[in-house]
Each structure stands twice: as structure tokens, then as C-alpha cells.
Amino acid sequence: VSKRIVVVGGLAAGPSAASKAARTNGSASVVLLEKSPHTSYGICEIPYFISGEVDGSRLVSYTPDALKERKQVDARAHHLVEEISPGKRFVSVRNLKTGKTNQEYYDRLILATGARSKRLNVEGEDARNLFFVRWLDDAYQLKTYLQEEKPKTAVVIGAGYVGLEMTEALTRCGLQVTVLHKSSLPLSYMEHEVRERIRSIIDGQGVQFHGMVRTEGFVLGRDRKVTHVVTSEGTFDCDLVIECVGVEPQTELATAVGIRTGSFGGILADQRQETNIDNILAAGDCCEVRNIINKKMMYLPLATISSKTGWVAGENAAGGNAVFRGAIRAIAIRVFGLEVIQVGISSEEARDSGFDVVVDSITAWSKVGIMPGATKLTVVTIADRKSKRLLGANIYGSEGAVLRGNTLAVAIQQGISVDDIQQWDLAYSPPFTPLWDPILVAANSLRKKL
Ligand SMILES: Cc1cc2nc3c(=O)[nH]c(=O)nc-3n(C[C@H](O)[C@H](O)[C@H](O)COP(=O)(O)OP(=O)(O)OC[C@H]3O[C@@H](n4cnc5c(N)ncnc54)[C@H](O)[C@@H]3O)c2cc1C
């Protein structure tokens, strides 16, 4: 059946949904509307663009023209969707270049409006040298500022993964970086020993980390530039501020027409990514997601989930029957020389969810110990004593952590017991792994504790 599918949002979930819809139903007419000048770009690569590791000209994967030519999606940048009329099935769209509005009719509408940076809402937050890291234009502006104004010191507010990636990027650019964080250690959801290790890694790079700090405002000097960050723990001088205090779902279009949201403010879609309003689906960072392990809803704004939920929404909008089962939380990060991955739930979340929690930690060689470049990996595992099921894991080391963590992510998603993991037949070859892979060593050790 020929259908008209309109997608709002053109970054990760939107292009994934639109391309999948066009592939699923070759006769569908698929329109993608994006308010910014850019579509389908690598936001996750921005810290590496700032550090100089990635060439800025390669950040955009699909321009609107490429989406048209290669994905058969009528993609339009500079198009802001202002309103949905669910009864008459159209959206009101403003062309931000001409200022004109028009109506786009749909058979199915997919909302992929994403998330915006949270703000502290304190004095001076609109300073010229204060940057958020959320959109491509933020990155271009920051890069230009670094090149033209040559700041020497930076304060990064927030030590989540984006804050840490930006800390590394600015340090690589030669800036002296101070990190201000609301809790005593960087990141959340990781186990205490891993967070301590990350703290010691950034300390070792000369980064000043201050925990338990509440930012209260910014003192601006000449040219509306921040000169000092005022906090509960004193004042910090700087030439540049990066604010990375998280993101929040953008759901104004959705809530205006009665689309249900959850306790985190994200859209509640079902497994087919359908909302409670007929013919409207939603995907990506504007949605909440179900945790497969404890069945609780969570807000997990990640590209991995955006592209998968986008895919499911696109297929279903085009008449298919796809399902998104949920997520476990799988996050990897490079902190200077350290590879870190966290999969599944933390020991604290596991306790809160009523599991009888056992936590174990082992250290093992990443490859045969006498091979050049062999380093130690630490594997922290979290399991349920009753079912012997693996609930979560953190792995860190100089190399080989992330893909091992992804292997354990499969076990966590499939509800595989620690006894079964210990039986896994994994490859052994001296340049890559020791005879007993660290994840087998971890499973053996955890079994004893269980
Ligand atoms: C620095 C950084 C690093 C990251 N690294 C990782 C990583 O390593 N791994 C990972 O999994 N995730 C990572 N993420 C998260 C990932 O980028 C997001 O989860 C992903 O971009 C979400 O995609 P989305 O399409 O759902 O939403 P968004 O990226 O928020 O895109 C929504 C789009 O919709 C547009 N829009 C909104 N409202 C309207 C409207 N009314 N009309 C028209 N257009 C509209 C917006 O302009 C935007 O382009 C990172 C994020 C950042 C900022």
C-alpha cells in the first residue's frame, strides 16, 4: 500500500526510521523534517573532532541530498515542525529560511525529536565562552573559539561520559582542565572501584577533579566571557567553560497532543514504538526505554538505542511488524589510555530491584602475559545469588575491555547463568587472549562466591 510517512528529527533516530521505512515499503513517500542545517551526523565523534583525531569534513554521514539519492528519503533541513494535528493527520512546518509555513499530511508520523542539553539555570550561562556539546554547530563554534582565542584553561562542569570525553579532548589540545562534578567520583552507574580508577587516571593527566561541587553561577568579564565559575566549594578561574550536565527529552510537540510521557519526561512508546495516539510513533532520545533486567523504565539517551528504535518505528510505520525488546545499558568510554565498559545494571540498582546481589572483581591478562603489549584487565561482575544470573559487569584496562564487555552484554540480555558463562568455548591465541579469557576467569571466580 502506498503511504505517506513523515519523520520529525534528522539526527540519529530520524534518518534510521526514514531509511528503514523507505526500504520496507518501496512505494511509500517518506519525508524527513529537520530544523537545523544538518542531518545524520556523528555527534558521538565530536570530542574526537575537538581533539583533532577526527577530520571535521567527515562528520556528516548523510546530507539531505544524500538521503534523497541514496535512501529515497525526501529530507529537508531548516524545517521546524511547530504543531501536530492528529485528527486531520498533518503537521505544520515552518521553513526557517523563507519563514513560510505549510502543512505536511501523513498516514504515519514518527517523532524523533531527541534531547536537548540540560542547563543549570544560573547567572551568566549565556556567556560567549560557555559551550554545550550537543549539536554539530556547538562543535564548530567551540573548535573556532579554541583556534581563534587560544584559551589556556577550561572548566568542565559534569563528569558523565561526555564531560570526561571533553576533558580528554581539551587536555589533548593543551588546556589545563578543571572538572567540577556533583558527586564525589566521575560517572554514575559504574561500580565504586571503577569510578576510583577513572579518577586516578584523570588525576595522572594533571586534570584537577573536584567532587561534591554545586555550580552556583558565572562571573562575566569583558566581552561577556566567563572569568570565574562560582561554586559551593569556592571560585574557579578559567578561559573557557564546557557544560555537560546531561540531556532531557524534547517532547513539547508530543505532549501538546496528549502523547503519554513517563516519570523521566520521555515519551512512552510500546514495543512497536507506537504511542498512545493513533498513527504516531516515536523513537530515540525523546523516548524512555524499558530495562530488560529489572523491567523498570529508564531514560537512556544513546545512539545505539536511537538507531534501533528508529529502525523499528520506520519498519512499522511502513506496514511491517518489528519489535524493540528494550535495553540493558551498555556504555563504553575511553578515558585517556583507559578503555572502560559498563553493561547491565549496577550493584546498587540490583539491590534496589530486589536481587540478592553478589559482586566480584578479578584481574587477568588481556593476552598471554609474556606477549609484547600484554596488560591487565579488571572485570567486575554483579550477579543474583538465587538465579545465578549475571546482572551487570564493568571491565577496564588498556586494551580488550570493550569487546569483552559486549560479550557479557549478550549474557546479561539473554539471562544466561554464571555457570553457563563459565562453560563458554572462547578462542585462545597468544596475541589476542590468554588460555583462559578474563571473562571466563571472572565467571569462575564469581561462581565460587555464589
Ligand atoms: C558528545 C556526545 C557523545 C556521544 N557519544 C555517544 C556514544 O559514544 N555512544 C552512544 O550510544 N551515544 C552517544 N551519544 C548520544 C547520541 O548522540 C544520542 O543518543 C543521539 O544523537 C540521539 O539521537 P536522536 O535522533 O534520538 O536525537 P537527537 O540527537 O537529539 O536528534 C533530534 C533531532 O531532531 C531535531 N528536532 C527536534 N525538534 C524538532 C522539530 N520540532 N522540528 C524539526 N526538527 C526537530 C533536532 O534538531 C535534532 O537534530 C553522544 C552524545 C554526545 C552529545
Q: Whose CA is nearest to atom 50 of ligand 1?
A: 44
Is 378's pLDDT higher than 70?
yes
Q: In angstroms, rounded to a whole number, what is the distance separating the alpha carbons of residues 173 and 181?
A: 22
Cell numbers representing residue 333 in the block: 568510554
**Tens of pLDDT, residues 162-211:** 999 999 999 999 999 999 999 999 999 999 999 999 999 999 999 999 99
Q: Whose CA is nearest to atom 32 of ligand 1?
A: 114
Ligand 1 binding pocket mutation candidate from 285, 288, 341 (most atoms within 8 A of CB): 285
Position 237 scores a pLDDT of: 96
3-state secondary structure of 156: strand
Q: In angstroms, rounded to a whole number, what is the distance separating the alpha carbons of residues 24 and 442?
A: 43
Question: Which of these, 246, 261, 250, 267, lies nearest to 309 by C-alpha position?
Answer: 267
Is 341's pLDDT higher than 90?
yes
> Is the torsion defined by CA of 25, 26, 30, 32 positive or negative?
positive
- What is the percentage of the chain residues whose pLDDT exceeds 90? 99
Is 231's pLDDT higher than 70?
yes
Is 359's pLDDT higher than 90?
yes
Split at pLDDT 50, 70, 90, the class of 1 is: low
3-state secondary structure of 19: helix
Cβ atoms within 10 Å, residue 323: 12
> Is the torsion defined by CA of 278, 284, 287, 292 positive or negative?
positive
Q: Which residues contact 1 (CB under 8 A, 6 or more apart)?
A: 25, 27, 319
Q: Tell me the average pLDDT across 362-379.
A: 96
Cell numbers representing residue 283 in the block: 523513537
Position 122 scores a pLDDT of: 96
Position 167 scores a pLDDT of: 98
Position 439 scores a pLDDT of: 97
CA angle 205, 241, 168 (to 5 degrees): 25
Cell numbers representing residue 431 in the block: 596475541
Position 2 scores a pLDDT of: 65
Atom of ligand 1 nearest to the CA of 43: 17
**If you search the block for the grid coordinates 546531561, which residue do you land on?**
246
What is the DSSP annotation of 289-322?
EEBTTT--EE----HHHHHHHHHHHHHHHTT---
For residues 199 and 209, the answer to whether their CB atoms sit within 8 Å is yes
Residues with CB under 6 A from ligand 1: 8-14, 33-36, 43-44, 46-47, 80-81, 112-115, 133-134, 162, 250, 253, 284-285, 301-304, 306
3-state secondary structure of 380: strand
Average per-residue pLDDT for the chain: 97
Position 222 scores a pLDDT of: 84
Atom of ligand 1 nearest to the CA of 33: 43
Q: Is 264 exposed, middle or buried (0-12, 13-18, 19+ CB in 10 A)?
A: middle
Report the side by side order of strands in the sheet with 101-105: 79-85, 90-95, 101-105
Position 104 scores a pLDDT of: 98
